[in-house]
Structure 1
Amino acid sequence: QFNPLTDIKEAFQKPQTENMKTLPPEMLPEFMHTLSRARIHFTTRCLIEWQLHTMARPSEAAGARWDEIEWDEKLWRIPAERMKRKREHVVPLTTQMLTILEEMKAINGHGRSEFIFASYKDVTRHCCSETANMAIKRMGFKGVLVSHGLRALASTTLNEQPQFNGDLVEAALAHVDKNKVRAAYNRSQYVEQRREMMQWWSDHIDQA
């Protein structure tokens, strides 16, 4: 029997049960200053920056592959099997993200590794998804920030900007829209609209 309330029920997100430690937007300058002076491996520093700029989940960032980068289109295309929601996700690459890629290419590119953030102990493997989190703890943010919380920091900052639609922020975070009708219309992932927003976010990080 058809139940007209089914889709309405599914449209509501379940409450978030996990408490993700994050920073308020006003602490971004302190975080970036600490990161710039931290005694951590160069690849780890770049991984943290990549995660912050792209708003990717820790596992998605750590496992980034060179063949996922579309240089001409300036896109990072993450295949569905690597995504939490099992749907392909596309990230518009900003000037700052491209700089990180060029820095990592000098270390892990040119056929040395299939992974952008290869383990410095074994280039046939990528960095552990906990690498950024452990470094953040060593930087003095234990109990204050976890690497996954960088996504929340980006979300809070961008949602405070009146020029950016909340749907764009949700798309950038690769959150699945529970409203089936709206999700069907949004499969384009607003890539071109998000490009402007992502560049604003990268510039904001640089200015912190």
Structure 2
Amino acid sequence: MPQLLSDIDSYTGHIIVKLGLLFLCYTFVRTNELRFMEWSEIDWNDKIWRIPADKMKMDRPHIVPLAPQVIDILQQIKELNFSERYVFYNPSTRKPYSQNAFINALYQMGYKYRMTGHGFRGLASTTLHEQGFMHEAIELQLAHEQENKISKAYNGAQHLDYRKDMMKRWAAYIDADI
């Protein structure tokens, strides 16, 4: 991971793609969730991103706690003022960046067949489990479906305070590798 982070830091392509790769690393959201992220979904006061159900694979709303490093990335993008609606907006095409923009950047850095946008999810899950974080909180952060349908129907717990702390620790872990 230290080499990947160093390579992202040295990436010379479009700044939004570079910041998007860092955002994926810090938040481990799905690439499509990242691509269609809107400024209106960010709660700057609570430092969370509320993704509406219609943008989620499991068709339910999702909350992503935003570590200070992620807030910094968002502020950098906001200062570029490319779009009033989309965060990861491509000013050349006048729409959100394609999924290929992020995968091609990884390929250009030498990660073809070694890393994808989705790979950040596996990397985070494995590392957080190895660090002893609560499995349920990691699965919630990944927006995975609960296996037990009865539990899903009755358990609406989000473990948000725990996840906020977990995401801050994850961001600190990443920063230690940069």
TM-score scaled by length of structure 2: 0.94
Q: Residue by residue, what CA displacement relative to the aligned partner does 1:101-130 show, whole Å, maximum 9, x if unpaired?
A: 100110136xx430011112144x111122
2:129 corresponding residue in structure 1: 159
Q: Is 2:10 aligned against 1:37?
A: yes
1:198 corresponding residue in structure 2: 167
- How big is the alpha-carbon RMSD for the aligned residues of Structure 1 and Structure 2? 1.3
| CA pair 186-134 structure 1, distance change in 2 beyond 3 A | farther
Show structure 2 runs of 5+ residues with no match: none
1:22 corresponding residue in structure 2: none
Q: Matched residues, percent identical?
A: 34
SS state at 1:90 partner? strand
Which deviates further from its counterpart, 181-190 or 166-175?
181-190
State how far apart, in whole Å, the 2-side matches of 1:160 and 1:167 are. 14
2:63 corresponding residue in structure 1: 90
Q: How far did residue 146 of structure 1 move?
A: 1.2
Q: How far did residue 77 of structure 1 move?
A: 0.2
SS state at 2:63 partner? strand
2:25 corresponding residue in structure 1: 52
State how far apart, in whole Å, the 1-side matches of 2:84 and 2:69 are. 22
State how far apart, in whole Å, the 1-side matches of 2:91 and 2:152 are. 40
Residue correspondence of structure 1 range 9-24 to structure 2 within 5 A:
none
Query: Which amino acid is 1:192 matched to?
Result: D
Q: Is 2:89 aligned against 1:118?
A: yes
Aligned length: 177
CA contact 1:108–1:118 (8 Å) conserved in 2: no
State how far apart, in whole Å, the 1-side matches of 2:80 and 2:7 are. 23
Query: Which amino acid is 2:84 matched to?
Result: S
2:109 corresponding residue in structure 1: 139
SS state at 1:85 partner? coil
Q: Residue by residue, what CA displacement relative to the aligned partner does 1:5-24 show, whole Å, maximum 9, x if unpaired?
A: xxxxxxxxxxxxxxxxxxxx
Show structure 1 runs of 5+ residues with no match: 1-27
2:97 corresponding residue in structure 1: 127
Which deviates further from its counterpart, 170-179 or 183-192?
183-192
Following TM superposition, the consecutive aligned residue runs of length 4 or more in structure 1 with deviations greater than 3 angstroms are none
TM-score scaled by length of structure 1: 0.81
Q: State the structure with more CA Rg.
A: 1
